[in-house]
Amino acid sequence: MAKGAGKPLTIHGLTKIYETRSGGRVDALGPISIDVKASEFLVIVGPTGCGKSTLLQILAGFLAPSEGSVKVDGEPIRAPSIDRSMVFQSYALFPWLSVLGNVEFGLREVPKARRREIALHHLRLVGLQDFADKGVDELSGGMKQRVAIARAFAVDPSILLMDEPFGALDALTRRFLQRELLRIWSEQQRTVVFITHSVPEALYLADRVVVMTARPGRIKAEWTVDAPRPRDIPSDRFRDLERQIYALLDEELSKSFASEGEVAK
């Protein structure tokens, strides 16, 4: 797919409120307004429970917002679509299918020969072409996540939504997959919205980093990261950015703990 294949996302006044069984409500998210440029790599960080995953599920079409709007290239999101692929921390692979079968899964409407060709191409992109006929239970965690990434790209989406995809991996595997993801993204230029708890990961990957507040999650701050890739995270410049972001996150965590303490009383 040619460069510039990503589409812009427009999020305006977005909120999500959950009704509880006892008749109460949880203000989970927003209001949030943010524009994501076509082919931008946007990374979102924030304290646990701030609504990051809820936001991603709304972008995927799995949840409806309580208020506000989300549009892709000017068109409202009303339901899930293969044009917006999602990668989860838990891999979400089908254990009864082979590696190849998992990558082919979203291509069921494509003729069989072409489907296999596309799936094998994307397995080659992630270095797993020799494991096409293996069962997913034969793979390591890092290999499973590479299969999930191959499956996400195989359906030719405009937007890739990634919910802490490397959070459960060891440090070396995580760094390897960060590099692999950037390599594939630089070639295919999809729009990426990536959730992480890791500030160094955010700075390594992002065109722009957004920091969210404690619940209800709102946009607290954002930084454009214009350093060329590959990036030297230990540099003074990145250490300074890292300190600024951690300071904001610490502030939000303190608010979150204080709020929970008040509820407990």
Q: Are residues 217 and 150 in the same domain?
A: no
Q: Residue 244 is part of a domain; what is its CATH number?
A: 3.40.50.300
Last residue of a domain, one of 135, 156, 177: 156
CB 164 within 8 A of CB 196: yes
- 2 in a domain, yes or no? no
What's the whole-model pTM score? 0.91
Q: Are residues 185 and 260 in the same domain?
A: yes
Q: Are residues 132 and 225 in the same domain?
A: no
The parent domain of residue 98 ranges over 92-156
Q: Are residues 221 and 201 in the same domain?
A: yes
pLDDT tier, 24 (very low <50, low <70, confident <90, very high otherwise): confident
Residues 96-144: pLDDT tens digits? 999 999 999 989 889 999 999 999 999 999 999 999 999 999 999 999 9
Q: Are residues 144 and 73 in the same domain?
A: no
Q: Are residues 44 and 172 in the same domain?
A: yes
Number of domains, the chain: 2
* 178 has pLDDT over 90: yes
Q: Are residues 236 and 119 in the same domain?
A: no
What's the whole-number mean pLDDT along residues 235-261?
Answer: 83
| Cα within 13 Å of Cα(158), Cβ side | 16
Residues 117-127: pLDDT tens digits? 999 999 999 99
Tokens of 23: 């008749």
- Burial readout 106-134 (b: 16 or more C-beta within 10 A, e: otherwise): bbeebeeeebbebbbebbebbebbebbee
